[in-house]
Amino acid sequence: MAFFLQLVVSGFLTGSVYALMALGIVIIYKASSVFNFAHGSIVAFTAYLIWHLMVNLHLHIIFAVIISLPVIIIIAYLIQRLILYPLTGQPPLAAIMATLALAEVVNGAITLFWPGPARTYPKFLPTGTIQIGTVFITLEEIVNFIICGLAFTGFMLFFQKSKLGLTMRGTAEDHQLARSEGVKVNRIFVLAWFIAIIMAGIGGFLMANMHGVNQEPLIALGMKSLAVVILGGMESILGAVIGGIAIGLLEALGAGYLDPLVGGGVEEVFPFIILVIILLIKPYGLFGYKRIERV
Amino acid sequence: MKKNRKLAVSAIVLVLFLAVFFCMGQAAYAGDKPIIAIGHLPHFTGAYGATQAPFAAAQEDAIEWANSVNYVKGAELKLVWVDGGTDPAKSLAGFKKMAAGNPAPVVIIGESTGIGTALVKMHAKAKIPDVEGGMSLAMIDPPSWTFCQPPPYVNQFGAWVDYYLEHIWKGPGKPKFAWLTWDNPFGKSPMTKEADLYLQSKGIEIVAREFIPNVPSNTIAQAMRLKKSGANFSYGGMYPSALSIVLKDMDKIGMTGQISIGMSYATNLDELVGYVGPLANGVHITSIGTLVNEWSKKCPMVQEMYDKKKRTDNKWAYGNCWSKFAIAIEAVRLAAEKVGPDKVDGQAVSDALISMKGFDGWGTSPKISYSETRRVGMDSVDIQAVENEKVVSKGYTTAPELLPGGKDVPK
Amino acid sequence: MLKKPCGTFDETYAQDIACIRTPFRAGLLILLLLFIFIIMPLVADDYVLGIMNVIGITVIAMLGLNILTGYCGQISIGHVAFIAVGSYTSSILSAHLGWQFWATFPSAILVSGLLGLIVALPSLRIKGFYIAISTMAFHYITIWIILHGGDLTKGVWGLPCEFPIFFGISFDTERKMYFLIMALSVLGTIMAFNLVRTKFGRGFVAVRDNDIAAEFMGLNIFRLKIMAFIICSMYAGAAGSLYAHYLGMITVEQFPLIDSIWYMGFLIIGGMGSISGAIFGAIFYRLIAQVVIFTAPMIGEAFPSLSVSGVAGFTQILFGVLIILFLVLEPRGLNHRWQITLSSFRLWPFPY
């Protein structure tokens, strides 16, 4: 029982970071129907950017964040203007593959600017372990969870209450209609990328705290959020959160109970098997829109 | 739209033109000395990119040093390299480009177990020997054109078991062993039948087999099972970023210091200390490179070049790359002595490698010997460990031969 | 379909369904075949032939993906897994049982075809990206099975695979392999070309354009989708088997997931839903890698301050930018551009 509880708690806490990263993909998909393959690379890029500002330029974390915001805006604008805007109205797959090529560009940029072994952030989060009953939790995990919770709440409030958030949701529903109401759709797309990259940045920062600022693991973790998004349903913000936590739990339980039976490595396969089974029952993910097709 | 079309046409024409232009090949030139090319297939991008970035500095410095001391008499060495991108398709293309180059390399240094395995027959076809930084059974059995630098992972494992029993295990009875390794080709390479037999012959019981995914984010299940199994020591292969997650999870459930973790050579201990600080204490690796602090004593030229070029790269990887170049350049020297510097080709270098005995990589590694049938290099490893967040060397330990049919395999 | 040159009329049904309609096109085809089978081997060295070999194998794989994605509209990012299945089937039969190429090649095609059938089963319910991710799941499962296959797949160690032998001649050089690979890829192209003209091919297009409408018209869309998956995986199996016999040694690391996504990407660059588009995509896929390799030293010379790994990063950026350029400037693929060029030649001197 202690084993089970520990697995559930750890899986839940890890899953919350997955959920945060998946939100980035969902928001871009909602706004512009583009499935962003570059998410993992952007996660890694932002982690490196923050590292660069904090360690090479000796800035405080708060200044580092403030400086990286305009950089992110510029990147979001360039992506929208140079890649996605010319591809509007073209086959959607072309835009999706353009994001894959974008991932290659971002990876190359990381190798160009920050070659060599992984970096580590200076320690500023409290470290230590607390014990609740039989379950051990590190303070790091709790901080991670709190940051994810805050980011998620802020995200929800933005979409539920603010005018801009409501505009974005409206735009996602129908570009044509939004345009006729005087919404500048292109700006909304830039904003969507901006928010997505910020989400990626927070996720990347938290993951890099655990793994070190290392290109490949961060990219792989970003790719994992693809599975999260599909499990939750591509359009659903709640789905991304539940999907992320579900993948975290499935990994932990798979490693805990199936690894000894089949000889290891289940952690990476098990969530996908469950994913296919869930898709067979609910073909649009757990919370995705069911498309009513007309001929 | 009209403009776009023109742009598109011109872009396509440009690329086709470039492709044709580059396929023509570059003109060869010869100085007063014959030029001997040494190929290198590192992976500066992709998954190995972070680890192998220092190879970029090392490849240039090693060749530069060898030329400056006129190591291969009567010939000028030239570096040819292509980025393999940790991708077999790219590496295959790069290999072909190098092999067709002018001058064609007489030896190519490979840097990946998986890609080295894939290219075994390509090397044989092109008759260019491969000094390989990785190691797999398919490369050495049957003997081909691939010469592995590190000892087989299973031999490294044997060395760790010997070392553990001799120097660390103090308790009564026999210790308990656990596999704690990456769930990928590199991590699982030491897990062979012979390894099991070796443990059996020492009376050691395997109490757990725990596998860590490539990019772990939560390894608590593995750590808890390990704790429950009561294992005393473990072995495996992982990069530092993955191992650091395991160490953190072990610390969480309070088992730091309860198990001696052994890792194969590619776990960069300096990097590990950077990630987890004191948690890294007590981690051992079966290293194949001279300890970084001992460079000026054992291989002064590496330290010299590192200082002279004001390198800031990770020293462990820098030295690791040097030792592979040492093997390749030494083989070229032997070949040049035998057939003359202007007649060195792949065949001559391969013969020279086969005749290489007890070469210590200019002091960068344990001694290396090859023969007609033996294509794995070193017969000993340097046990290195983290003590008080510093990496120290525990000295060379002979690695038992545990490949199928090896002389130390228990009957 | 293709526009016919002025003055060409179909007077009989046989003319209407003919593949080669004008003597000019027949001449072109003969020239192309002459070029592939006689001129290339005469003038090209091993290096160029080596590139052609890889392109040939890629063409076969790409044709399969084109039938599934380009014609039937099912997105697959598990294509490399099918190639892996083909490779491993061939290697297992070759290494453990000592079978020859003529026996392993069809077996590899059969085994991948069977697996394609299994992967196709969820496609009745799952659509769009969701089916893409379920093929991705198939990729992870395949790799997991190969890694844990014990002695059969030799797990992490990789399997050797004999070079093809026909009538006592071992195809162990690039030049000999060239003829085999080119013959098979020309055969594959002809088969694909014919397939899309059949009842099934037209059915695929109907399913792609709107599967509900296709169902109303009385097509059995489930069967069509399964057919498309099976054909796609058979092509992949053939490519995988050739690849294993060509390389002589396969390991699990040769089949990364990202390659599947790149296959999709280059199919789009080539032009989906046309045979020549798939061929363009395959050629472009392999040539662009060469361009990048050749530019690396030039970049190093142009920017001496750049470190060597910086050059590698730079070439990676170049690769990405080139692909983005092609997608942005020609989102419908090279084939679209090719057709426009062709028809403007045909209609010259009129603008349209």
Mean pLDDT of B230-255: 89
C300 touches A: beta carbon within 8 Å: no
> What is the tens place of the pLDDT at every residue in B180-214?
998 877 788 888 888 999 999 988 999 988 888 88
Mean pLDDT of A75-97: 84
CB contact under 8 A, A293 and C212: yes
Mean pLDDT lowest for which of A197-201, A265-269, C332-336? A265-269
Is it the case that residue B25 has pLDDT exceeding 50? no
* Sign of the torsion formed by the C-alpha atoms of C181, C186, C187 and C188: positive
DSSP class of B106: S
Which residues between 191 and 220 in chain A have a beta carbon less than 8 angstroms from any beta carbon of chain B? 207, 210-212, 214-217, 220
A117 to chain B: which residues are within 8 Å by CB? 50-51, 53-54, 268, 271, 314, 317
- The pLDDT value recorded for residue C242 is 93
Short-list A72, A51, A289, A44, CA closest to A191: A72
C314 to chain A: which residues are within 8 Å by CB? 108, 112
State how far the Cα of B384 lies from the Cα of B282, in Å rounded to an integer: 10
C309 touches A: beta carbon within 8 Å: yes
State both tokens at B165: 């029993």
**Minimum-distance CB partner of B221 among A116, A129, A259:** A259
- The pLDDT value recorded for residue B8 is 56
A103 to chain C: which residues are within 8 Å by CB? 320
Q: Is C14 a member of any domain?
A: no
Range of the domain at C160: 44-347
Q: Is B406 exposed, middle or buried (0-12, 13-18, 19+ CB in 10 A)?
A: middle
Q: How many domains does chain A have?
A: 1
- The pLDDT value recorded for residue B6 is 58
Q: Is C94 a member of any domain?
A: yes
Range of the domain at A96: 2-281
Q: Is A295 a member of any domain?
A: no
- The pLDDT value recorded for residue C226 is 92
A263 touches B: beta carbon within 8 Å: yes
- The pLDDT value recorded for residue C149 is 80
C332 to chain A: which residues are within 8 Å by CB? 90-91, 94
C251 touches B: beta carbon within 8 Å: yes
The better pLDDT of the pair A169, C348 is held by A169
Kindly report the CA angle at B123 between B119 and B125, in degrees rounded to 5?
A: 115
- The pLDDT value recorded for residue C189 is 93
Short-list A231, A235, A233, CA closest to A272: A231
Indicate the pTM of the whole model: 0.87
Q: Is A290 a member of any domain?
A: no
Mean pLDDT lowest for which of B19-33, B361-375, C103-117? B19-33
**Minimum-distance CB partner of B221 among A107, A138, A252:** A252
CB C160 within 8 A of CB B138: yes
- The pLDDT value recorded for residue C305 is 72
Q: Is A291 a member of any domain?
A: no
- The pLDDT value recorded for residue B26 is 40
Residues composing chain C: 352
Q: How many domains does chain C have?
A: 1
B380: how many CB neighbours lie within 10 A of its CB? 18
- Using DSSP, how many helices (H) and how many strands (E) does chain B show? 17, 12
Mean pLDDT of B68-75: 88
Q: pLDDT class for B234, splitting at 50, 70, 90?
A: very high
Short-list C231, C260, C232, C252, CA closest to C91: C252
Q: What are phi and psi of C250, to 5 degrees?
A: -125, 145
Q: Which of A139-148, A219-228, A254-263 has the highest mean pLDDT?
A: A139-148
Residue B108's H or E segment, with its range, is: strand B107-110
Which residues between 108 and 147 in chain B have a beta carbon less than 8 angstroms from any beta carbon of chain A? none
Q: Is A293 a member of any domain?
A: no
Q: pLDDT class for B23, splitting at 50, 70, 90?
A: very low
Mean pLDDT of B126-133: 90
pLDDT along chain C (352 residues), means of 10: 63 76 82 88 85 92 93 90 94 90 92 92 81 87 86 81 83 86 93 89 90 87 91 95 90 86 90 90 88 79 74 84 87 84 76 63
CB B396 within 8 A of CB B366: yes
CB B51 within 8 A of CB A115: no
- The pLDDT value recorded for residue C338 is 85
Please report all neighbours of C, defined by 3+ CB atom pairs within 8 A. A, B
Q: Is A289 a member of any domain?
A: no
CB contact under 8 A, A279 and C133: yes
Is it the case that residue B109 has pLDDT exceeding 90? yes
CB contact under 8 A, B254 and A136: yes
State how far the Cα of A14 lies from the Cα of B305, in Å rounded to an integer: 45
B12 to chain C: which residues are within 8 Å by CB? 326, 330, 334, 337
State how far the Cα of C317 lies from the Cα of B216, in Å rounded to an integer: 28
Mean pLDDT for chain A overall:
84
CB contact under 8 A, B94 and C293: yes
Torsion-angle region of A289 (φ positive above 0: left; ψ -120 to 50: alpha; else: beta): beta
Mean pLDDT of A195-202: 86
Structural domains present in chain B: 35-151+295-378 (3.40.50.2300), 153-287+381-398 (3.40.50.2300)
Q: What are phi and psi of B355, to 5 degrees?
A: -85, 0
Mean pLDDT of A15-32: 86
C256 touches A: beta carbon within 8 Å: no
Q: Is C11 a member of any domain?
A: no
A245 touches C: beta carbon within 8 Å: no
C299 to chain A: which residues are within 8 Å by CB? none
**Minimum-distance CB partner of B96 among C50, C294, C295:** C50
Mean pLDDT of A42-60: 87
Residue C77: give its domain's CATH number.
1.10.3470
Is it the case that residue B24 has pLDDT exceeding 70? no
Q: What DSSP string describes B324-337?
A: HHHHHHHHHHHHHH
- The pLDDT value recorded for residue B331 is 92
**Minimum-distance CB partner of C331 among A94, A109, A285:** A94
The better pLDDT of the pair C68, B86 is held by C68
